[in-house]
Amino acid sequence: MSSRPCLTWTGCLCGSKHMLLCILVTTQEQSIPSGMDVYGYLLAREGRLEDVENLGCRLFNISDQHAEPWVVSGCHSFYSKRYSRALYLGAKAIQLNSNSVQALLLKGAALRNMGRVQEAIIHFREAIRLAPCRLDCYEGLIECYLASNSIREAMVMANNVYKTLGANAQTLTLLATVCLEDPVTQEKAKTLLDKALNQRPDYIKAVVKKAELLSREQKYEDGIALLRNALANQSDCVLHRILGDFLVAVNEYQEAMDQYSIALR
């Protein structure tokens, strides 16, 4: 697995038909294209679980002796909230390839969501060792620290990532996420998120966190404007759901229902 940041894979979704065609062709060649586990994760994160299931089946038809099909199926289970199943599939993938970063991330996330945080931390640390430039490895570890109320450790890690990988929308948002957990650093979180959104107005994680902050401040109109802007050139189920919540807060019930319907598609 490449140690490049996961961000480099986000463009795969834009060419999903081409990617799936590639899989069809490769099935005949009996080999698994590199990065299919990351692609499956991205599809799952977008809520495209039917596509993930189909991808997993196609990869298993090629070979069940590689980590990728197990990871893809595990992502389907994880985003279907079947964490025990995701844990099993992640563990199977690691048995086949102990250096599979995506398998470690899957198993770590499943362990975290099952409340086994200390075990999850071990897996995220191993993922960081194997892929020190991948932001999602650090995100997983920081989420574990936050889940165990270890705010100080999370802050130290987020600051280190910020210094190591540079000030970009992703690292700014990660640091802001930790700052949001401490009442003392709320203003810093706001500044960081504004910087992140200035760099990338469509960065979904930054939009979600800024919306969270605006919701706390009951600035619903500002939140609606933020979300509409982010959704102008993309569709994301999470953003549509949050927009629905904001619309309910200002008594725009019909449009809120429309947004919830879009989120469920």
In a domain, 109, yes or no: no
Q: Are residues 24 and 68 in the same domain?
A: yes
Q: Are residues 77 and 139 in the same domain?
A: no
Is 50 exceeded by the pLDDT of residue 248?
yes
Q: Are residues 21 and 88 in the same domain?
A: yes
In a domain, 156, yes or no: yes
Provide the pLDDT for residue 22: 52
First to last CA, the chain: 32
* Of the residues 183, 200, 217, the one at which a domain ends: 200
Q: How far apart are CA 106 and CA 77, in angstroms?
A: 10
Q: Are residues 85 and 127 in the same domain?
A: no
CATH number at residue 129: 1.25.40.10
Q: How far apart are CA 250 and CA 129, in angstroms?
A: 47
Q: Are residues 258 and 176 in the same domain?
A: no
Q: How far apart are CA 213 and CA 211, in angstroms?
A: 5
* DSSP one-letter code for 31: -
In a domain, 4, yes or no: no
Residue percentage of the chain with pLDDT more than 90: 80
Task: Identify the CA nearest to 40 among candidates 98, 85, 106, 88.
Answer: 106
Q: How far apart are CA 154 and CA 162, in angstroms?
A: 12
Q: Which residue has the tokens 């927009």?
A: 243
Q: How far apart are CA 193 and CA 173, in angstroms?
A: 6
Task: Identify the CA nearest to 109 among candidates 75, 80, 132.
Answer: 75
In a domain, 6, yes or no: no
CATH number at residue 33: 1.25.40
| Secondary structure of residue 245 in the 3-state scheme | helix
Tell me the pLDDT band of 11, cut-offs 50, 70 and 90.
very low
Q: Are residues 194 and 220 in the same domain?
A: no
Q: Are residues 211 and 173 in the same domain?
A: no
C-alpha R_g of the chain: 19
In a domain, 236, yes or no: yes
* Of the residues 58, 79, 101, the one at which a domain ends: 101
Q: Which residue has the tokens 């463009």?
A: 11
Using one digit for the tens of pLDDT, what is the confidence trace for 152-210?
999 999 999 999 889 999 999 999 999 999 999 999 999 999 999 999 998 999 999 99
Q: Are residues 121 and 196 in the same domain?
A: yes
Q: Are residues 131 and 184 in the same domain?
A: yes
Task: Identify the CA nearest to 71 among candidates 49, 112, 45, 39.
Answer: 39
In a domain, 106, yes or no: no
What are the C-alpha distances in Å from 257 to residues 171, 228, 233? 34, 15, 21
Q: How far apart are CA 155 and CA 158, in angstroms?
A: 5
Q: Contact at 8 Å (CB) between 67 and 89?
A: no
- Tell me which residue range forms the domain holding 188: 115-200
Q: How many domains does the chain divide into? A: 3
Using one digit for the tens of pLDDT, what is the confidence trace for 76-135?
999 999 999 999 999 999 999 999 999 999 999 999 999 999 999 999 999 999 999 999
In a domain, 3, yes or no: no
